[in-house]
Amino acid sequence: MPVMSRPHKRITAAEFLRWPDDGQRHELINGVHYVTPSPRLSHQELVGRLHLAIGNFLATRRHLGRLFVARLDVVLSDYDVVEPDLLFVAGDQQSILTKANVQGPPALVIEILSSSTRRRDEGIKRKLYEKKGVREYWLVDPKKCQVLVCRRAEDGSQPVDATLSAAADDHLETALLPGFVLSISELFSEIEI
């Protein structure tokens, strides 16, 4: 279960980023501090598989952008600093990269759902990513062996565009990575929950 501190006042990103690194995963959402326990093996295996698949695809297409894996701070506002499992910064937004962190919304954010983060990832973080302009948000669900894809619409909303499952042998494609195809059944193959 994640730990959430409830300060009397909201914590700012500037204050948050000055805290010493204790090796845990910390996030700041609307000025509220969250600490998340270490992830399970299945979570890390899925992060690794996605990082490998997308990273290998980008190896010969560096102009498309850069892929990063947690732990990396993404500063979205004065009160919002998150650490997505994976994030992709597109070629047209390289200016948001600094030596220390990412200063603005990445093109793509990927979160692996777990019992300790599911409600936050599906709720307040999804709303935050929509509000701040993330182009795509993938919610990878190991229990259901599916990927929920939320894509930015013309009106700025980020509705669910696709629910892709291993059972249906679906494949994930995205305009952010032209030519990239991910087999959902291969992604979840032999993952122990």
pLDDT of residue 4: 52
pLDDT of residue 68: 98
Q: Round to whole Å and give the CA distance between 105 and 88.
A: 10
Q: Round to whole Å and give the CA distance between 143 and 43.
A: 11
User: What residue has token string 């990082």?
Assistant: 51
> What mean pLDDT value characterizes the chain?
93
Q: Which domains does the chain have, with CATH numbers?
A: 39-188 (3.90.1570.10)
Beta 146-151 vs 136-141: how paired, if at all?
A: antiparallel
Do residues 96 and 102 make contact, with C-beta atoms less than 8 angstroms apart? yes
Run of H or E residues at 43 = helix 41-58
Q: Is the pLDDT of residue 7 over 80?
A: no
pLDDT of residue 192: 82
Do residues 50 and 86 make contact, with C-beta atoms less than 8 angstroms apart? yes
Do residues 81 and 105 make contact, with C-beta atoms less than 8 angstroms apart? no
pLDDT band for position 9 (cuts 50, 70, 90)? confident
List, for residues 112-170, the tens digit of each pLDDT value.
Answer: 999 888 999 999 999 999 999 999 999 999 999 999 999 999 999 999 999 999 999 99
